[in-house]
Amino acid sequence: MSAQFGQHQLRDGGYLQADAGWFKRGANQSLMSDPKGPQVHERRDLIMYVVLIEHPTEGLILWETGSGRDYDNAY
């Protein structure tokens, strides 16, 4: 980021996990040759980022891609 736009800090917001079927076509599906599907479902790690931006006219802006409250119970 250039100096005219201020400073920023990139933070690690942790990880989420989700079934690979959300991201990869055909993941974790059954086939005629294996109607029960995979015994162990493939999971994917999703990185959550948090960025704190110091904007010269707007002040501090917090941008994050994190989960909602109680995501592990809701999904």
Domain span at residue 10? 3-74
Strands of 1-75 (E only): list them: 7-19, 43-55, 59-64
- Whether the pLDDT of residue 64 is over 70: the answer is yes
Number of domains composing the chain: 1
What number of other Cβ atoms are within 10 A of residue 19's Cβ?
14
∠ CA 35-37-38, rounded to 5°: 150
From 28-32, 55-59, 60-64, the region with the lowest mean pLDDT: 28-32
pLDDT digits (tens, 9 = 90+) for 8-18: 888 887 888 88
Give residue 59's Cα distance to chain centre. Answer: 26
Does residue 13 contact residue 50 with C-beta atoms inside 8 Å?
yes
Whole-model pTM: value is 0.49
